[in-house]
Chains A and B, each alone.
Chain A
Amino acid sequence: MFYQLLQKIIRTASGRTRFVMAIIGLSIALLLIFSAVQIEINYNELLHGKTNQDSIANFLVINKLLNSKSYGTTTLSNNEIKNLQQQSFIDAVGILTPSRYKSSIQSFSNRFPFFTEISFESVPATFIDVSTKDWQWNEQSNYIPMIAPNMFLDFYNFQFSLSQNLPQLTQEVVKMIVFKVNITTSTGVIIFNGKIVGFSDRITSLLVPQEFMDWANQHYGSTQNTQPSRAVIRTKDPGNPLLVSYLKEHNLTTDADKTRFSKYRQIVNAIVNISWITGAVMLLFALLIFTLFIQLTIASCKDEIQLLVTLGASPKQLKLFLLNQFFPSNIIIVLIALISVAALQYILHGFLLQQNIFVSSYISAYTVLTALLVIAVLWVTNNRTISTYISLHNK
């Protein structure tokens, strides 16, 4: 009741245009800031996330440079692997384990005759960019899941199938085919079922789960030459000159094409920086306009405020009342900006999914945290302005 009367006495209607301007400015500023945070998070998720089907993260497969000098000695020693792990520009090292037995895969159906000798490789699951629940194997499993490089399918579809008069196959169709996997052992050929469960660009070999690889190598593999010769490394920046020179120095080689990802990152960084600096500057101006608006309202009601205090209204009551007048609109702006960013993120999720790039459909906790931080900043600004100007007119 008291606040209803105060509402009649302290009119907040003066300077509506300024108020609308402040609100629009604040909304845009917050939209930019929240977007910047969300883009950064999305980017990091793409860079370091373990669930991406085609992440632009920086994984490099490395092996010894093969030339006449290194011929026959291309395995990586334990020391060399340890040394790799110790480098600051390398985040993680995964050993690629090759199969040490003869194997081939072929189709069951005669309608689609297909046979090839093949060897497998495996790598710890954290280095695989295909997320599927099918990527597991134990001795009871009905089939061996495999991940094939996109390159293999392209090779088949655009070269091999044409020359052999075979049908072209989409990823979905290939995933439905059950292959016969033959493993040649000293006592004969053992047959397994195999299925392609995903495609990847990261490692250019036919991958099987580490569990299967270890089990099969132990049972059927030759015991000679168990030292790995390829490793996959995760690095923040494949264009890092230190990494490049390190590889060169140690006679190692990698896919040079991957260095192009560092260019993408520069672009994303620039966008994030522009977005968030613009947002911050706009927020500053919006806060300024908001402060001026509060100041103006209080100044235009200074006689009324003085009389209210004379009659016994406490500065605390007036402050609470004024905070109630100004602050809720701020919270609503923050919520609207947050909901907008959430909607954009949902759309982005759908859009990128079509291109096999996975970002979360929800906004990150950091974005929500930023919103809370902004609310705190707004509260402090409101509170301080109101306190200052009430005590100014209440001497």
Chain B
Amino acid sequence: MQFQLKHIVPTPLKDIFSQRQSDIWNKDITFLKEEYIKIKAPSGTGKTTFIHILYKLRHDFEGHVLYDSTNIVEIKKDELAIIRQQKISIIFQDLRLFPNLTAAENIELKRVMQTPIYEKNIIHEMAEKLGIVHILKQKAGLCSYGEQQRIAIIRALVQPFDWLLMDEPFSHLDEQNTHKAAWLISEECAKRKAGFIITDLDEDNHFNYTKKLLL
């Protein structure tokens, strides 16, 4: 699967963006399969807005977004669900875990939402790699932000996908944990021959990016 963006501009921020230079807003661009794309931008320039538009969470924009050749406005709810189960996985900036489920249950939910591609023990294996085994049975709402972020990362990696969307996925992690998480993400993307789009505030070398864009 590939993304095509045709002159997209978020309606609420239209005036601000029209005066600024951007590699994405109001441009005609395509993200090809297996690309590792880094989007860098300071706070308040629409990183989350952009990720949400790509994930079809927001509709308040001008221009067109296409999954392969299908305009996303034409995608129906049940088709969208299949795409989110099979093609596009996401790590939200605000994490979006179910606070009353345990860490393990939050991850399990995404593993079994579609026909699972991994056995149940994958949760333990990945948790071990990111150092959160001890909180797996704890309610997600009681975990620290750093722990929650790692739960959200693992949750995004237990499902099949062609693209992984990440919105500042390491914002609550220290250098060492960021490194571990980035390594796990690379490994899982490589296994699936998947690409990713990551947004962040600064420059970094966590991945071998094929494209770096300024928002």
User: Residues on A close to B: CB < 8 A?
Assistant: 1-2, 5, 8-9, 304, 307, 309-317, 391, 394
Interface string of B97-131 (1 = CB under 8 A from A): 01011000100111011100000000000000000
Distance from B77 Cβ to chain A, minimum over Cβ atoms (Å):
5
- Which of the 9-residue segments B1-9, B30-38, B79-87, B141-149 touches chain A? B79-87
A314's partner among B78, B101, B108, B159 (CB-CB below 8 A) is B78
**Is A1 a contact of B112 with CB atoms below 8 Å?**
yes
Q: How far is the CA of A9 from the CA of B85 in the complex (A)?
A: 19
Contact between B101 and A310 (Cβ–Cβ < 8 Å)? Answer: no
Report the minimum CB–CB distance from A317 to chain B (whole Å): 7
In the complex the two chains form, is B98's CB within 8 Å of A304's CB? yes
> Are A317 and B81 within 8 A (Cβ)?
yes
Shortest C-beta distance, B144 to chain A (Å), equals 20
Selected from A1, A9, A309, A314, the residue in CB contact (under 8 A) with B98 is A9
- Evaluate contact between A394 and B113: CB separation under 8 angstroms: no
Name the distance in Å between B194's Cβ and chain A's nearest Cβ. 16
Cβ 8 A contact of A5, one of B78, B84, B108: B108
Q: Contact at A313–B77, with CB atoms within 8 Å?
A: no
Q: Are B100 and A312 in contact (CB under 8 A)?
A: no
* Chain B residues positioned under 8 Å from A2 (CB to CB): 109, 112-113
Looking across the interface, which residue of chain A has its beta carbon closest to that of B109? A5
A residues less than 8 Å from B73 (CB atoms): none
CB pair B78–A8 under 8 Å, yes or no, is no
A312–B98 touching, CB < 8 Å: no
**5 additional contacts, CB 8 Å, given A312-B81, A314-B81, A314-B82?**
A5-B112, A9-B101, A310-B57, A312-B114, A312-B159
Chain A residues in 8 Å Cβ range of B84: 311-312
B77 touching A394 by the CB < 8 A rule? yes
The CA of A310 and the CA of B81, in the complex, are separated in Å by 8
Contacts of A394 in B (CB 8 A): 77
> Are A315 and B101 in contact, with the CB atoms below 8 A?
no
Q: Which A residues are CB-close (under 8 A) to B108? A: 1, 5
What are 25 A-B interface contacts by the 8 Å CB criterion?
A2-B109, A2-B113, A5-B101, A5-B108, A8-B100, A8-B101, A8-B105, A9-B98, A9-B100, A9-B101, A304-B98, A307-B96, A309-B81, A310-B96, A311-B96, A311-B109, A311-B113, A312-B83, A313-B113, A315-B77, A315-B81, A316-B78, A316-B81, A317-B113, A391-B77
Q: Give residues in B with beta carbon < 8 Å to A.
A: 57, 77-78, 81-85, 96, 98, 100-101, 105, 108-110, 112-114, 159
Chain B residues positioned under 8 Å from A312 (CB to CB):
81, 83-85, 110, 113-114, 159
A309 to B159, CA, bound (A): 15
A residues less than 8 Å from B109 (CB atoms): 2, 5, 9, 311
Q: Which residue of A lies closest to B59 (CB)?
A: A395
Contacts of A391 in B (CB 8 A): 77
Taken together as a complex, chains A and B put the C-alpha atoms of A272 and B114 apart, in Å, by 52
Separation in Å of the B32 CB from the closest CB of chain A?
A: 23
Within the assembled complex, what's the spacing in Å between the Cα atoms of A314 and B113?
9
Which of chain A's residues has its CB closest to B116's CB?
A1
Give the distance in Å from the alpha carbon of A304 to the alpha carbon of B83 in the complex.
20
A310 to B155, CA, bound (A): 13
Q: How far is the CA of A312 from the CA of B78 in the complex (A)?
A: 9
C-alpha gap A313/B106 in the complex (Å)? 13
Q: Which residues of B contact A304 (CB under 8 A)?
A: 98
Q: Give the CA-CA distance A5 to B96 in the complex, in Å.
A: 16
Q: Which residue of A lies closest to B120 (CB)?
A: A1
| Complex CA–CA separation, A2 to B112 (angstroms) | 6
Tell me the minimal C-beta distance from B148 to chain A in angstroms. 14
Nearest CB of B to A154, in Å: 77
- Contact check, B112 vs A314: say whether CB atoms are below 8 A apart: no
Who on chain A is nearest to B156 by CB? A311
